[in-house]
Amino acid sequence: MEDAIRDMLETRDGLALGICNGFQALIKLGLVPHGKICGQNSDAPTLTYNTIGRHISKMAYTKVVSNKSPWLMGAEVGKTYVNPASHGEGRFVANDEWIRTLFANGQVATQYADPEGNVSMDEEWNINGSYASIEGITSPDGRCLGKMAHSERRGNGVAVNIYGEQDLKIFESGVKYFL
């Protein structure tokens, strides 16, 4: 698997997307934030249990703060999107140095926000207690994206009673990357 992933990213200029449990896999492997399989050391960013100590299932408002990732080229920087979230271990945790580095490198892709787009640490909006309200991060080149909210669970008949834009255009953007 490691050789195939390395070939996909390094030789074939591929993309990797991890949503929810997929984000957990990417971060444990090191693909986010490092862009390569290197595992984690003790001070590496990680995902852990939600601050409420149990599974959450609700709509999450996330603000796009960087479109460095090809996956987010169709999303509007500064705009807030709403997608379902459903997880028990989705809280992003990192030390201050890592958080500063991720923001400085444009690797923080999305943050939890209120419906008006204000990034928030309030548990109503930062649904799992993520540090710096981080919902999604990328590799340094942006080709690997990990995020918690389920962008794949949207559609014309899904959550029609929920106010807000739902389509981050992640999959359209991924396809366009290869065209």
Active-site residue list: 20, 150, 152
**CA 30, CA 139: separation in Å to the nearest integer?**
9
33 upstream amide cis, omega within 30 of 0: yes
**CA 92, CA 73: separation in Å to the nearest integer?**
23
- How many whole angstroms from its chain centre is CA 175? 18
149, 153, 155, 161: CA torsion to nearest 10: -60
